[in-house]
Amino acid sequence: MPHFDTYPTLYWFPVYALCWVLIWVATRHQINQRLFVALALLMLFLLRLPSIVFDYEINPDESQMITQALTLRHDPVYFRSVDGTTGGPLDSYFLILPSFLGLPFDYITAHLTAYALIAVCLWLLFKTAKLWFSEKAARLALLPFVFMLGLTQNGDFLHYNSELIALLLLSWSYYLYATQLTQRVPSLFRISLIGLLLGMVPFGKLQAVPLAAVVGLFVGIDVLIRRSLSIPAKIGRLAVLGAAGVAFPVLVIILTRLNGVYDDFITFYIVGNFRYAGNTNQWQSLMRLPDFFQKGSEFDWLVKFVALIGIGGLVMAFRRKVQLSINSIQIGGFVGLLLLATLFAITRTGSEYVHYLYFLTGPLLFILAFGWQQLPVVERTGLWVAMISTGVFLLLFGVQTGQRFLQKVPVNPYSSENQAGWAVQQSPVAKEVLKYARPGEKLAVWGWRCDYYIQTQMPQGVAENHTIRSAFNHPMLADYQKRYVSDFKRSVPPVFVDAVGSQNLWMNDRKTQGHELIKPLGQFVNAHYKYVGLVNDTRIYIRNDRIKGLSSDSQPESH
């Protein structure tokens, strides 16, 4: 397995040089579409490789989802064994798939999976842009996204996050809608597939529902305005779209009822997520968009680049008095409304988590392709403008990296040179836990240190593997605390870890945020567990029957 230090100079320079070659390749019509896309996605892989082989969490969210996948492999009933809070069930279930290929539940697997999902999304978006704005425009539009998602060091774009499954489903639906517009008679199969994908989106990320609604709306509008369809044919296709759209949600409802977790599904996924940041001022959040984009580091460059080219293309379209067809009006309306829906979705909670910006990938790529189409890139002058502009965008990354070299700032913050192959590094806490328990047995961690589950390869003994919703004040605090205690008493894990302290994310005050704040939990732990010591500012508790017979020299030292 390759390793990368903080200054992978011999790797970075040739790969960066290949990015410039890719710009030239994009303009060569002799190189067919499949080869170009394959080269672009290979470039994305090479650019992300240092972060892919980094076997530690880039963002705490991916530890949460890897842990959930590990747990579901042992107990596949979601909402009983796992609650992904704002992330949907499909995010965790998808991470189980690599394990069937023999890959472990670790960060390298998650990073590889994230790359694969992003690659497929970009491929689908490219195919959609090609149908709408020409292949050459689509090629040039794809490049900045490959460069940004490959060269950025912002962890929110590099880790496995809860936006990716929803983004894949949406990207696929965009492409299917684009192909529907090319059909003289929209096929029932295509419409039913679109409906099925849109119905799955809420179970990837509820936040993406407005984007799915836009796709469903325009698919329906396209059916209604088709002169080639009779009224019964239109009604039939709309019925198929609606039936397919509710098929997956109905399946989820049936499965949750059969497994006795329907109430948890409604309470913790539907109600809980709608109450999440429910007091957000939407207008203020929208006004903060420039600051939000800047949090995305190089994503801010991408937004400005797309805005510049998109506005330039719009001006050229008005100057040339482009004749609008029904299809072009539909496409323009779709992209415009999709952009507005995305901006609403990513600002709705007011949280400004950078990985929300992934949802803008589709509308931004379409706007950029439109801009290149209108400039136009099929002419020699327009092609040179596109190449030079894209080159300037790529040059920004080179300048930024050069400054890091000169200032002796790590070029690669995800150094893997000290990793022991594919094995996840075990912390002192994980090593201590494994003295008393075995991989595959359940573990409960109070606080937010989901990486302990991965380091020990122990599934979670409670549905909520991070406990901020059971510790911080909010309208549903009592519901979360009640469920935590119920889950804990049901599983009675051999080891309980209270990670509140200096090594914990957001939960640092042991006096006010320790597990004792839930009295029934504190009483149960006190009655059935023995406190064996403090490890790395983390309290370790062992179930009474498990600790019996252990020698005194196995007791941990406080450090």
Question: What is the model's pLDDT at position 553?
Answer: 47
Structure tokens at 550: 């252990």
Query: Which pLDDT band holds residue 312 (cuts at 50, 70, 90)?
Result: very high
What region, left, alpha or beta, does residue 465 occupy, with left being phi > 0 and alpha being psi -120 to 50 degrees?
alpha
Q: Are 159 and 62 in contact (CB under 8 A)?
A: yes
What region, left, alpha or beta, does residue 160 occupy, with left being phi > 0 and alpha being psi -120 to 50 degrees?
beta
Calpha distance 40→18 (Å, rounded): 10
pTM of the model: 0.95
Residue 541 predicted with pLDDT over 70: yes
Residue carrying the six token digits 């040089």 = 17
Residue carrying the six token digits 């989802």 = 65
Question: What is the model's pLDDT at position 252?
Answer: 98
Q: Where are the domains of the chain?
A: 9-280+293-406, 428-554
What are the residue ranges of helices labelled H in 320-420?
Answer: 326-347, 361-374, 380-406
CA angle, 256 as apex, 254 and 262 as ends, to 5°? 110
Query: Which pLDDT band holds residue 549 (cuts at 50, 70, 90)?
Result: low
Cα dist from 381 to 31, 116, 135, 308, 508, whole Å: 21, 36, 17, 18, 59
DSSP state of 216: H
Digit-coded pLDDT (tens) for 431-474: 999 999 999 999 999 999 999 999 999 999 999 999 999 999 98
Calpha distance 196→247 (Å, rounded): 7
Spatial CA neighbour of 88 closest among 211, 247, 202: 202
Residue 477 predicted with pLDDT over 80: yes
CA angle, 490 as apex, 489 and 492 as ends, to 5°? 60
Question: What is the model's pLDDT at position 225?
Answer: 95
Q: Work out the average pLDDT over 70-90.
A: 96
CA atoms within 13 A on the CB side of 136: 19
Residue 552 predicted with pLDDT over 50: no
Query: Which pLDDT band holds residue 277 (cuts at 50, 70, 90)?
Result: low
Poorest-pLDDT segment among 27-41, 253-267, 380-394, 411-425:
411-425
Question: What is the model's pLDDT at position 147?
Answer: 98
Buried b (16+ CB within 10 A) or exposed e, 262-275: bebbebbbeebbee
Q: Are 504 and 447 in contact (CB under 8 A)?
A: yes
Structure tokens at 150: 């490959």
Residue 556 predicted with pLDDT over 60: no
Question: What is the model's pLDDT at position 383?
Answer: 86
Query: Which pLDDT band holds residue 278 (cuts at 50, 70, 90)?
Result: low
Digit-coded pLDDT (tens) for 9-27: 999 999 999 999 999 999 9
Contacts of 343 (CB under 8 A, 6+ apart): 286, 289, 360
